[in-house]
Amino acid sequence: MIDATINLKHRLLLMLMYGSGLRVSEAIAAKVEDFDIKSKIFTVKSGKGAKDRYVNLSEKFIQNFIIFTKNKESGYLFESAQKVGQPVTSRTAAKIVENSLKKANIAKKAHCHTLRTSFATHLIENGTDISYVQKLLGHSSIRTTQTYLRLSNSSIRNIKSPLD
């Protein structure tokens, strides 16, 4: 889906939501100055519950970020084309996801939040402790994080019984 998206701005938005597990509201509110590329960290300012938190950035995102922000030092990373100085809307982000699914020939329904859910699920499937995932997602309760888990059948099949 990400690879099928040619527009750099759109690809960067998808990469940020999936690669860092951001809510759509957090991604569209991202400002260039909130990224610490050297430390590979993004500061989510006033996330849900008005809490700040840090999330990690992937190398692929950083490479694209550097290209995209070549002549931009501050302001919204995903600035609206219609309203200068304002971020794109969540509806625009939803449309980007919808269009990217079509370009990638993915028939399955997905939304912006699906990228966040996939982030959490893939981390846990790859062995990341759920308490770290909880922190990255900005959840107060581990129970909230557990609702994001949708382990694949192949992951379940690979679990070895203690009896064996």
| 111 classed as catalytic | no
Among the options 48, 53, 103, 135, which is catalytic?
48
DSSP string, 96-149: HHHHHHHHTT--S---HHHHHHHHHHHHHHTT--HHHHHHHHT-SSHHHHHTT-
Burial of 65 (0-12, 13-18, 19+ CB in 10 A): buried
Three-state SS string over 135-150 comes to HHHCCCCHHHHHCCCC
**Known active-site residue 143:** no
Which of 10, 11, 18, 23 is catalytic? The answer is: 23
| Residue 150 annotated as catalytic | no
Which of these is catalytic: 139, 143, 157, 160?
139
**Active-site entry in 116, 135, 143, 150:** 116
Q: Which of 10, 11, 18, 148 is catalytic?
A: 148
Set 9, 31, 40, 113: catalytic member: 113
Query: Catalytic residue positions?
Result: 23, 48, 113, 116, 139, 148
